[in-house]
């Protein structure tokens, strides 16, 4: 790839990251009354008083229905990582937002490393350039939330398992077990990855006729769960407290229907995520759908493409059928699939002419960039639910309309 193009891509990525840094809210502008406030207080208390604070968090979560409407303290991975960050950089909302930006940067580096390994340097550079201009990822990289590190460790689990399947060595299995364990501890929705593991393993072995060590497969699922449960038992102090935490989390899911916000802003039809992505990044979403349809109709099933496709389908089908929590920030991992498929779509349409592909990608990046500015800086959207995206894109009247 020409050196000038590589330099241009690096400069554009730096522009995206600099924009996220510059547009980070001021200390008083973070949502101290909502999720950001809970994550901040949990992490601050653990940084100051140690993991014994998780028992106090558990007591609060069990006793208060109001507290159960907000992030659960069972996400000990995010809280401990943020507490360690506070130990180094200080306990402020801005510091926690910078932790999100750091996770976004590590996510981009990880995607580049693995995409280069599986698809080559050219695809990897285009891929990371597009990802760096994802409006939803840029938006959450400047907030004091837990979504950026949840996205990072789920992406690492995705890539590490793909790497293990391509070369089934014990060392690679060990890497997957470590990152997947952390992913579970950071956010419980990562457990859905287990379903993906079983489904794709069956396809990998029976359709693609590739060898698969069943003992290693069993270890890849069981060991992360055992390690994650052990970590939670240590954090909460006992088996009884662990089960109380699980009960409290399940209870909070059942109480979601009592929250007007969850009912009015978190519910919707099964295709709600697709609508949101069309509002956030329309061109990549449409190109990804086109490429997926092309592959399906042409019956061209390469295992790496099927791996991405099955991952998307499993998570989409699972999370689209959960009531009251259909928030696009919970599924921003889909951007990896959409953006990679968009690049393949462009290479097919341009018949492999790299110059044209790069020019189109740069155009899409700037469209996404101004989309980010309008949605998350000018209109200052905090939670990118469909309602806020729709009024911001002028499909419906704004909240202030009377």
CA distance 270 to 319: 9
CA distance 385 to 401: 18
CA distance 149 to 76: 12
149 close to 137: Cβ distance less than 8 angstroms: no
- Would you give the end-to-end CA distance of the chain in angstroms? 55
CA distance 248 to 58: 8
Query: 261 pLDDT band (50/70/90 cuts)?
Result: confident
Mean pLDDT, residues 164-182: 95
> b or e along 250-260 (b: 16 or more beta carbons within 10 Å of the residue's beta carbon)?
eebeeebeebe
Query: 400 pLDDT band (50/70/90 cuts)?
Result: confident
373 close to 174: Cβ distance less than 8 angstroms: no
pLDDT over threshold 80, residue 254: no
Contacts of 293 (CB under 8 A, 6+ apart): none
- pLDDT tens for residues 269-321? 999 999 999 999 999 999 999 999 999 888 878 999 999 999 999 999 999 98
In which residue are the tokens 């009377």 written? Answer: 402
The CA dihedral of 152, 154, 155, 156, to the nearest 10 degrees, is 80
**CA dihedral sign, ordered 147, 151, 153, 154:** positive
Structure tokens at 281: 């990044």
pLDDT of 340 reads 97
Q: How many CB atoms lie within 10 A of CB 9?
A: 20
**CA dihedral sign, ordered 325, 330, 332, 334:** negative
Structure tokens at 172: 């690679």
Structure tokens at 131: 């990802």
DSSP-derived letter for residue 299 is: T
282 close to 276: Cβ distance less than 8 angstroms: no
pLDDT, the chain, mean? 94
CA-based R_g, the chain, Å: 21
- pLDDT tens for residues 310-349? 999 999 999 998 888 899 999 999 999 999 999 999 999 9
CA distance 155 to 157: 5
Query: 260 pLDDT band (50/70/90 cuts)?
Result: confident
Contacts of 272 (CB under 8 A, 6+ apart): 320, 326, 386
Mean pLDDT, residues 154-162: 98
- pLDDT tens for residues 343-355? 999 999 998 889 9
pLDDT over threshold 80, residue 257: no
335 close to 315: Cβ distance less than 8 angstroms: no
Q: How many CB atoms lie within 10 A of CB 74?
A: 24
- pLDDT tens for residues 40-97? 999 999 999 999 999 999 999 999 888 988 999 999 999 999 999 999 999 999 999 9
pLDDT of 402 reads 58
Q: Indicate the pTM of the whole model.
A: 0.96
pLDDT of 80 reads 98
pLDDT of 323 reads 84
pLDDT of 298 reads 84
Q: How many CB atoms lie within 10 A of CB 356?
A: 14
């Amino acid at each position: 790839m020409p050196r000038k193009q590589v330099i241009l891509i690096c400069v554009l990525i730096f522009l995206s990251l600099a924009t996220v840094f510059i547009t980070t809210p001021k200390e008083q502008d973070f949502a101290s009354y909502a999720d950001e406030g809970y994550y901040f207080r949990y992490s601050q208390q653990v940084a100051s008083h140690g993991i014994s604070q998780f028992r106090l968090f558990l007591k609060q979560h069990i006793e208060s229905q109001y507290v159960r409407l907000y992030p659960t303290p069972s996400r000990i991975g995010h809280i401990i990582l943020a507490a360690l960050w506070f130990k180094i950089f200080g306990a402020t909302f801005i510091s926690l937002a910078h932790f999100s930006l750091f996770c976004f940067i590590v996510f981009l580096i990880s995607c580049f490393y693995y995409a280069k390994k599986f698809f080559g340097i050219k695809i990897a550079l285009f891929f990371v350039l597009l990802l760096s201009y994802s409006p939803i990822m840029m938006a959450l990289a400047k907030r004091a939330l837990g979504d950026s590190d949840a996205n990072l460790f789920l992406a690492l689990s995705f890539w590490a398992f793909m790497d293990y399947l391509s070369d089934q060595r014990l060392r690679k299995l060990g890497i997957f077990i470590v990152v997947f364990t952390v992913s579970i501890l950071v956010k419980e929705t990562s457990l859905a990855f287990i379903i993906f593991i079983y489904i794709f393993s069956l396809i990998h072995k029976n359709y693609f006729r590739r060898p698969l060590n069943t003992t290693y497969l069993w270890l890849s699922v069981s060991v992360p769960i055992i390690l994650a449960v052990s970590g939670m038992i240590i954090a909460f102090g006992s088996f009884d407290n662990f089960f109380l935490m699980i009960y409290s989390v399940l209870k909070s899911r059942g109480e979601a229907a009592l929250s007007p916000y969850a009912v009015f802003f978190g519910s919707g039809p099964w295709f709600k995520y697709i609508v949101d992505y069309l509002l956030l990044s329309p061109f990549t979403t449409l190109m990804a759908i086109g490429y997926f349809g092309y592959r399906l109709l042409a019956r061209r099933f390469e295992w790496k493409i099927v791996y991405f496709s099955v991952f998307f389908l499993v998570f989409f089908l699972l999370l689209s059928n959960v009531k009251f929590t259909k928030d696009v920030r919970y599924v921003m991992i889909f951007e990896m699939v959409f953006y990679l498929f968009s690049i393949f779509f462009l290479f097919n349409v341009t018949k492999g002419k790299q110059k044209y592909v790069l020019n189109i990608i740069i155009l899409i990046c700037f469209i996404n960039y101004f989309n980010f500015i309008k949605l998350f800086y000018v209109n200052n959207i905090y939670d990118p639910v469909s309602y806020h995206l729709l009024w911001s894109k002028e499909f419906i009247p704004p909240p202030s309309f009377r």
